[in-house]
Amino acid sequence: MTNLVLLCQDPALTDWLAALFTQHAPHLRVLRPDDEGAQQAQVAVCWFPPAGSLGALPQLRLVHSIGSGVDHLAQDTSRDALVPVCRVVDPDHIQGMSEYVHWGVLHFHRGFDQVITGNITQRWRRPEQRRAQDFKVGVMGLGAIGAPVAVRLAEAGYDVRGWARTPRGINGVTTFGGQTSLHVFLEDLDVLVNLLPLTAATQGLLGHEVFQRMAKGAALINCGRGQHVNQQDLREALAGGHLRGALLDVFEQEPLPADSPLWETLGVWVTPHMASVASDACIAQQVADNVARLETGLALNNPIDPTLGY
């Protein structure tokens, strides 16, 4: 039987995963790092694995993220780059993300940010009501999640643009591909939604140059990764009035520390990485399916491209 080891920096998360597999995939042999046989595990199930933990597994044949992102694996530089990496892709994750982004766009489109701020100061002021088709929304990242999000916004009547590393066509969405088209994509956007994967090319991408291309008074919705945002540039764009607001769901350090300046930055709305998460059953099932495929020599589901990092 293939041994699985749980590798997480958070003990509470390890406990949750252990209970998850006990309930939804009891046939798997799931071990904690200190259990007998853990060092001979062939599969590592991870979320922010401790430094050196992956390199300490000489029989490792598969690294499996419990989420759709895999950038957290960079926390452990001991990982053998030749070992395949897979991620969890929950169909319901698309629904949850689409709901969150649609709410976020409405938050700025209908001026709910202004109304909530007005409540604090007891100010009665009705925001301007604009037609959805006159409100330009840009979605960065048009993969398995970004493309359906863009389609939902287009179906809601918004003027939607999409941008990705490579060109692709999406019905109802004006699409752009490649670095050379990024400036045109950003021009006069009212809201920018980030759903890009985190790579060396996208780290810190959401900064001064991007913000200045957007319409004055525009807003940012970040559901990608915290490292995509240059926080200093964001605070300056908000303080200077070029950006009106930012809805942030992901952060470089989570939970967001109490002393983070983002908590007190006017115009920033913080949500606790709640846009969408895979269900317990989905995590267990997809890991179990890939373990079975590994044992029988079949192609793995949802592998990442090591040249791209996602």
DSSP structural state of residue 215: P
Catalytic entry in 24, 110, 208, 273: 273
- Confirm if 296 and 288 have CB atoms less than 8 A apart: no
Place of tokens 């590393």: 165
3-class secondary structure, 296: helix
Distances 147 to 70, 91, 98, 102 between C-alpha atoms, Å: 19, 13, 10, 13
Catalytic entry in 64, 72, 109, 225: 225
For residue 127, say if its preceding peptide bond is cis, omega within 30 degrees of 0: no
- Separation between Cα atoms, residue 262 and residue 114, nearest integer Å: 18
Question: Read out DSSP for 50-80?
Answer: PTTTTTT-TT--EEEESSS--GGGGG-TTS-
- Would residue 293 show up in a list of annotated catalytic residues for this protein? no
- Separation between Cα atoms, residue 168 and residue 187, nearest integer Å: 19
- Would residue 225 show up in a list of annotated catalytic residues for this protein? yes
3-state secondary structure 181-212: HHHHHHCCCCEEEECCCCCCCCCCCECHHHHH
Length of the chain equals: 310
Active-site residue list: 225, 273
